[in-house]
């Protein structure tokens, strides 16, 4: 969880291609995310931004290209037994937050957060409980530890999901449209937690979102996805104030 | 309702209709209104009492030998131990096979998929009784023939190893047969767990085993347990089929014992009735426990505290008001539960206008988030 000095890259994506049958969703993506950096990925739906995120932790197998996370370097294509093992190691370095939260409904909030440390890392109950309590406090839900997900609001569920990812002490957090399934009045609390991760913990983050206010405030860089390619990449200032591309302009005009 | 002349002529007028002069129509309406004040459960209990009274009369009139039943019921009931034991061991085997079978059916591994496909196809595609004979008679015969052909490669006691008692065959075949059917139950249960759950487990870095054990199966079991309870109850009854294989007295299940003493004393009817009653009592008890178990496994899916034991009462209430006889708009889900016989023929009697298809309403505990 501690930020790396001098922003050495945590995530490297090189020549990433991904096809679903005949449909080519990603057509050659190169991207680097340095330690402590927050990259916001935006673009029209279907432009491949979620697919990129899901390729980074191999929820989707890249058709071609290379993914490197925390020094674990993996090629796309067929999964071998050895690669499967490496994918799991890679995943323990990535925290993933889903649009639909995907909390485990049969476990309390605390158990949800403890699950990774206990089952995957093999920590003792006591240690895991301490970590879980700490990260739940970080997302402001220490008093909801014993509640089951169904009794939590959408915003609270998403914050537990963030805590669950944090408990693995990842090197990078991947946010896949984390506020898209939330009622408007609940978006703020989730964005506030994400902002605090970026500004206080200097967490490395890749965020797919349409929340342009969050992007302007927190992002170090923004990448505009268009038809499976990164059309434009730059600081929020560059993107918002001096984009050269009519596609970016049109998209921003539509969501702002 | 009918608009032709004859239909209108025979239709009793509604009580609320101005100028309803037919005294009969008014009487029926009073009937139904009084009936509505009696709780549904009381009416049902009354029906049961009448049925049992009828049966008691039947037994008395048919000269049933109650003394014989009293003398022999304990001998027959001792078979319950083996019935239960066989069903318990059988269901354990079935659950294990169903779990493996379901994971095979969901696997992309062609060997696992192929084997589980063959297994379910054969055991669902042949009658249980044929399978019983196959394993009881054909299996030891095949083993003997195999031994005769390859005496040098097979151990001396090869044939003995495949000669099983009827109890052992019963457990094995019931387990195999029910396991094949339950494979589908388990497969559906596993598939009912949303893909997002599986992805969340993957994203944490869990192995396939960890994901199944910690995340997918606990949720699938919520869906799997109720029908598995049903299968267990059904299996307890199918243990009676094993009796045709014959068995030694010390391992006889209920039905075999009943046949034995019934035939010996020429009291086959009494023996059959006793056996039926014992099976029935057994399944009734387990049905009760199963409904409690069902309520327990829904924990974590209910926003409020679990409403234990309230469902029945509420259901009775709704029905009592819903069958007043003058409410067309009764909730569709309760149409099946409205057999208000006294007002049959009344044009407003719910359940006659519409075909009795109950829209299955989800019990409150089962609601998804």
Kindly give, in sequence order, each residue whose CB lies less than 8 Å from that of residue A110, ignoring residues fewer than 6 positions away. A129, A132, A133, A136, A145, A146
**Interchain pair A102, B200: CB under 8 A:** yes
- Across B129-150, b (16+ Cβ under 10 Å) vs e yields eebbeebbeebbeebeeebeee
Q: Does A151 contact chain B (CB < 8 Å)?
A: yes
Q: Is the pLDDT of residue B79 over 50?
A: yes
**Interchain pair A102, B196: CB under 8 A:** yes
Tell me if A55 sits within 8 A of A88, measured CB to CB: no
Q: Is the pLDDT of residue B334 over 70?
A: no
Residues of A in contact with B299 (CB under 8 A): 106
Instruction: Say what the pLDDT of residue B350 is.
Output: 36
Cα(A200)–Cα(A193) distance, integer angstroms: 10
Residues of B in contact with A168 (CB under 8 A): 204-205
Instruction: Say what the pLDDT of residue B300 is.
Output: 58
Which H, E and C letters describe chain B, residue by residue? CCCCHHHHHHCCCCCCCCCCCCHHHHHHHHHHHHHHHCCHHHHHHHHHHHHHHHHHHHHHHCCCCHHHHHHHHHHHHCHHHHHHHHHHHHHHHHHHHHHHHHHHHCCCCHHHHHHHHHHHHHHHHCCHHHHHHHHHHHHHHHHHHHHHHCCCCCCCCHHHHCCCCHHHHHHHHHHHHHHHHHHHHHHHHHHCCCHHHHHHHHHHCCCHHHHHHHHHHHHHHHHHHHHHHHHHHHHHHHHHHHHHHCCCHHHCCHHHHHHHHHHHCCCHHHHHHHHHHHHHHHHHHHHHHHHHHHHHHCCCCCCCCCCCCCHHHHHHHHHHHHCCCCCCCCCHHHCCCCCCHHHCCCCCCCCCCCCCCCCCCCCHHHCCC
Q: Does B301 contact chain A (CB < 8 Å)?
A: yes
Instruction: Say what the pLDDT of residue B25 is.
Output: 59
ipTM above 0.90, yes or no: yes
Instruction: Say what the pLDDT of residue A194 is.
Output: 97
Provide the β-strand partners of residue A34: A9
Q: What is the pLDDT along chain A (256 residues), one digit of tens a residue?
A: 444 445 689 999 999 999 999 999 999 999 999 999 999 999 998 899 999 999 999 999 999 999 999 999 999 888 888 899 999 999 999 999 999 999 999 999 999 999 999 999 999 999 999 999 999 999 999 999 999 999 999 999 999 999 999 999 999 999 999 999 999 999 999 999 999 999 999 999 999 999 999 999 999 999 999 999 999 999 999 999 999 899 999 999 998 7
Residues of A in contact with B214 (CB under 8 A): 115, 119
Instruction: Say what the pLDDT of residue B70 is.
Output: 87
Residues of B in contact with A96 (CB under 8 A): 200, 203
The radius of gyration of chain B from alpha carbons, rounded to an integer in Å, stands at 28
Cα(B238)–Cα(B174) distance, integer angstroms: 8
Among chain B residues, CA nearest to A170: B204
Among A78, A119, A170, the strongest candidate for a mutation testing the B interface, having the largest count of B CBs within 10 A, is A119
CA distances from B74 to A256, B82, B181, B258, B281 (A): 82, 14, 34, 10, 14
Q: Does B369 contact chain A (CB < 8 Å)?
A: yes
Which of A89, A100, A94, A98 minimizes the C-alpha distance to A57?
A94
Q: Residue B77's CB: how many other CB atoms inside 10 A?
A: 19
∠ CA B154-B160-B163, nearest 5°, is: 125
CA distance B302 to chain A (A): 7
Confidence of residue B17 (pLDDT cuts 50, 70, 90): low
CA distances from A167 to A37, A163, A203, B164, B257 (A): 20, 6, 13, 54, 61
Which of A215, A229, A221, A224 minimizes the C-alpha distance to A244?
A224
Q: Does B367 contact chain A (CB < 8 Å)?
A: no
The pLDDT mean for chain B works out to: 77
Provide the β-strand partners of residue A32: A12
CA distance B67 to chain A (A): 54
Considering only CB atoms, A91 lies closest to which of B203, B219, B303, namely: B203
Q: Among A153-162, A238-247, B96-105, B304-313, whose mean pLDDT is lowest? A: B304-313
Residues of A in contact with B207 (CB under 8 A): 88
- Across A214-228, b (16+ Cβ under 10 Å) vs e yields bbeebbbbbbbbbeb
Among A101, A102, A174, the strongest candidate for a mutation testing the B interface, having the largest count of B CBs within 10 A, is A102
**Interchain pair B205, A102: CB under 8 A:** no
Instruction: Say what the pLDDT of residue A11 is.
Output: 96
CA distance A16 to chain B (A): 20
Instruction: Say what the pLDDT of residue B347 is.
Output: 37
Q: Does A61 contact chain B (CB < 8 Å)?
A: no
Q: Is the pLDDT of residue B187 over 90?
A: yes
Q: How far apart are the first and last CA of chain A?
A: 33
Which of A18, A28, A93, A32 minimizes the C-alpha distance to A61?
A18
Instruction: Say what the pLDDT of residue B188 is.
Output: 94
Tell me if A173 sits within 8 A of A203, measured CB to CB: yes
Q: Is the pLDDT of residue B299 over 80?
A: no
Q: What are phi and psi of A175, to 5 degrees?
A: -110, 115
CA distances from A24 to A17, A47, A48, A227, B158 (A): 8, 10, 9, 9, 59
Q: Does B206 contact chain A (CB < 8 Å)?
A: yes
**Interchain pair A88, B205: CB under 8 A:** yes
CA distance A148 to chain B (A): 6
Q: Does B300 contact chain A (CB < 8 Å)?
A: yes
Kindly give, in sequence order, each residue whose CB lies less than 8 Å from that of residue B139, ignoring residues fewer than 6 positions away. B162, B164
For the segment B54-68, the average pLDDT, to the nearest whole number, is 86
Provide the β-strand partners of residue A221: A39
Instruction: Say what the pLDDT of residue A224 is.
Output: 96
Instruction: Say what the pLDDT of residue B91 is.
Output: 96
Confidence of residue B338 (pLDDT cuts 50, 70, 90): very low
Which of A254, A217, A212, A249 minimizes the C-alpha distance to A232?
A249
Q: Does B110 contact chain A (CB < 8 Å)?
A: no
Handedness of CA A179, A184, A190, A192 (dihedral sign): positive
Torsion on CA atoms B99, A117, A139, A217, rounded to nearest 10: -100
CA distances from A30 to A14, A26, A203, A204 (A): 5, 11, 21, 17
Is B359 buried (19+), middle (13-18) or exposed (0-12) by CB count in 10 A?
exposed
For the segment B50-72, the average pLDDT, to the nearest whole number, is 88
CA distance A256 to chain B (A): 30
């Amino acid at each position: 969880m501690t930020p790396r000095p001098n922003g050495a890259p945590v995530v490297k994506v090189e020549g990433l291609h991904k096809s679903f049958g005949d449909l080519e969703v990603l057509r050659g993506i190169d991207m680097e995310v340095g330690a402590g950096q927050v990259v916001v990925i935006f673009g029209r739906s279907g432009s491949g931004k979620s697919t990129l995120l899901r390729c980074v932790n191999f929820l989707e197998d890249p058709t071609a290209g290379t993914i490197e996370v925390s020094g674990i370097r993996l090629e796309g294509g067929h999964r071998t037994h050895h690669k499967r093992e490496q994918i799991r190691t890679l995943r323990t370095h990535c925290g993933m937050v889903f649009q639909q939260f995907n909390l485990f409904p049969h476990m309390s909030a605390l158990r949800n957060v403890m699950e990774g440390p206990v089952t995957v890392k093999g920590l003792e109950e006591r240690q895991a409980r301490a970590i879980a309590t700490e990260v739940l406090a970080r997302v402001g839900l220490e008093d909801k530890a014993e509640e089951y997900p169904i009794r939590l609001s959408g915003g609270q569920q998403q914050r537990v999901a963030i805590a669950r990812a944090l408990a693995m002490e990842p090197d990078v957090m991947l946010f896949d449209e984390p506020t898209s399934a939330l009622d408007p009045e609940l978006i703020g609390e989730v964005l506030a937690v994400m902002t605090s991760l970026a500004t206080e913990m200097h967490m490395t983050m890749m965020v797919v979102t349409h929340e342009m206010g969050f992007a302007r405030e927190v992002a170090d860089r923004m990448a505009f996805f268009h038809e499976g390619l990164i059309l434009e990449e730059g600081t929020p200032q560059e993107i918002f104030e001096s984009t050269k591309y009519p596609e970016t302009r049109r998209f921003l005009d539509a969501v702002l | 309702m009918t608009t032709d002349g004859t239909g209108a002529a025979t239709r009793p007028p509604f009580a609320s209709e101005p100028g309803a002069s037919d005294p009969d129509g008014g009487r029926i309406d009073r009937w139904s209104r009084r009936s509505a004040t009696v709780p549904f459960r009381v009416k049902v209990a009354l029906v049961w009492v009448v049925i049992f009274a009828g049966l008691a009369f039947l037994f008395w009139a048919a000269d049933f030998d109650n003394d014989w039943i009293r003398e022999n019921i304990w001998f027959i009931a001792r078979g319950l131990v083996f019935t239960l034991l066989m069903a318990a061991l059988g269901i354990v085997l079935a659950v294990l096979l169903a779990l493996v079978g379901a994971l095979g059916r969901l696997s992309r591994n062609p060997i696992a998929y192929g084997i589980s496909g063959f297994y379910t196809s054969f055991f669902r595609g042949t009658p249980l009784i044929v399978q019983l004979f196959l394993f009881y008679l054909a299996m030891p015969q095949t083993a003997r023939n195999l031994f005769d052909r390859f005496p040098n490669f097979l151990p001396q006691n090869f044939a003995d190893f495949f000669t099983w008692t009827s109890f052992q065959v019963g457990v094995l075949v019931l387990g195999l047969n029910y396991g094949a059917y339950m494979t589908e139950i388990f497969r559906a249960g596993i598939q009912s767990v949303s893909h997002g759950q599986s992805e969340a487990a993957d994203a944490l870095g869990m192995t396939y085993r960890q994901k199944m054990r910690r995340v997918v199966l606990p949720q699938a079991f919520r869906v799997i347990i109720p029908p598995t309870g049903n299968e267990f109850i059904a299996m307890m009854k199918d243990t009676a089929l094993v009796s045709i294989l014959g068995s030694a007295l010390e391992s006889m299940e209920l039905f075999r014992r009943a046949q034995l003493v019934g035939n010996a004393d020429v009291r086959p009817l009494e023996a059959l009735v006793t056996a039926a009653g014992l099976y029935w009592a057994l399944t009734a008890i387990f049905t009760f426990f199963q409904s409690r178990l069902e309520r327990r496994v829904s924990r974590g899916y209910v926003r409020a505290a679990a409403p234990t034991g309230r469902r029945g009462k509420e259901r009775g209430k709704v029905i009592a008001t819903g069958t007043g006889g003058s409410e067309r708009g009764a909730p569709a889900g309760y149409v099946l539960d409205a057999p208000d016989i006294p007002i049959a023929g009344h044009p407003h009697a719910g359940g006659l206008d519409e075909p009795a298809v109950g829209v299955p309403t989800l019990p409150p505990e089962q609601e998804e988030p």
